[in-house]
Amino acid sequence: MTVDLDTLASELAAGEAQPVATEPVTLVIFGGAGDLAHRKLLPALYNLHVDGLLPPRMAVVGVGRKDIGDDQYREFARDGIQRFSRRSLDEERWDSFASSLFFVNSAIDQPGVFASLGSRLDIIEHERGLAGNRIYYLAVPPALFVPTVQQLSHARFVAPADARPFSRLIVEKPVGRDLASARAISDAIAAVFDEHQIYRIDHYLGKETVQNILVLRFGNSFFEPLFNKKYIDHVQITVAEQEGIGTRAGYYEQSGALRDMIQNHMLQLLALVAMEPPRSLDADVVRDEKLEVIQSLRPLEGEAVDMATVRAQYAAGFDLGAPVPGYKDEPGVSRSSRTETFVAMQVFIDNWRWAGVPFFLRTGKRLPKRASEISIHLKEVPPILFNRDPHRRLDPNVLTIRIQPDEGFALGISSKVPGPRVRIYPVNMDFRYGSTFGGSSPEAYERLLLDVMAGDATLFMRRDSVEGSWHWITPILDRWAEQTTDPLPTYGAGDWGPPEADRLMESAGRSWRQL
């Protein structure tokens, strides 16, 4: 069944509509001429403009080292929209959007340069009738987070907490490389911005299917009673990337899959699946429940790390039939690198709801396909009635939440095949966003940027959650840092990881779900 979108729009208007930013605002993007702005931020802002969700008066000011003017920046934005937007560019709407785009050439890490930036912002805000509300987006390398925030403070660009006009800060991941560095960055930012002014962005939390996890669990009476150790055998969370590191060797050599994916994206997905029902949808209430999950993770330290984790690097192989190099042969990667491009692990949540239920996390680059999904595996039917034949066991029920690319969810059930004999066959009850609601789903950055403008922090990470994740991850990093002699396992590009990952599952009596 396809939903009538006009009917849906009227229903949303009568109920709880999506957040709409109404206060005039200036969005200042540090790194505004970089790859993130080109591929994600500017296309997202354009789509919000087309949907009529941006404030009626707004300015987007890119800041960076490139010596370009406003017109060149608008061409840069136009190119990004034409190449990466989920919808094609409409000339009339582009003209009205382009008039809000500006660029200021400024070296962020040099003292005193924000004076000229401040003068330009004052002129833009005066000409466009803006009230001085500002959102500062740190789309810059992590090493520039603290210098940029300190420059904002020295230039007196930051309004006090709860003041009008407001000041807000968006911070891209990664926040730190371990617990100590994360705390140092947070301390420096906290010296300038109050916690409720800070929006730590994890684009996975803006994806439609991720937002739908709470609705799936707490908006359907038959699902929530199943999410506990009585009915769930285990949970698998997979984030697979088909591409290699590309031109990001400088970043990835300092990061690796554990920091890049597990510490933020995947622990946040785990928290959404495992959290207790929040008493309300208030941002801090939801984030409190997610924090409880992070803090309940069973620690992995010392030899326990060796038993519960697998790390590996991709070797040479094939991508869509074309040969591709191994990780150590990528430009910018050291031949002696021990940076992991694949991680698999078994973790436990030590609380009353989930005690004893294993959660398996798996992520890697150069895997056979790009796919992210959560699969909740229910316990087997008892070996009686239709499941009594040991040679023809029924498949356990599996609830699959597909995050990308084919957004939706499916429930696998057993059904009788039509006919006089009793034959059982597994079938899928399948929901797909595209076929049900039509069109393309909004990109994650569209929702997240809109939420910052509306002042809704629900989908953003709080400091205690970031540091809680690092507190759990850091002992794993420490253990791996001690192991400098044994070679890392490898897997061919285009494979689903090394054999050690399969053995990890086999030792627990399970197997990885085929995506």
Active site residues: 265
Handedness of CA 133, 139, 143, 144 (dihedral sign): negative
Distance from the Cα of residue 180 to its chain's centroid:
23
Gap between the Cα atoms of 293 and 185, Å rounded? 24
Q: Are 273 and 294 in contact (CB under 8 A)?
A: no
Which of 93, 80, 1 lies closest to 33 in space, CA to CA?
Answer: 80
> Residue 300: CB partners within 8 Å, gap ≥ 6?
308, 309, 345, 347, 472, 475, 476
Identity of the amino acid at 323 = P
Between strands 358-364 and 371-378, the pairing is unpaired
Identify the bridge partners of residue 29 per DSSP, sorted by sequence position.
62, 137
CA angle 154/42/440 to nearest 5° reads 140
For 420-458, give one letter per residue: b (16+ CB within 10 A) or e: eeeeeeeeeeeeebeeeeeeebbbbbbbbbbbbbbebbb
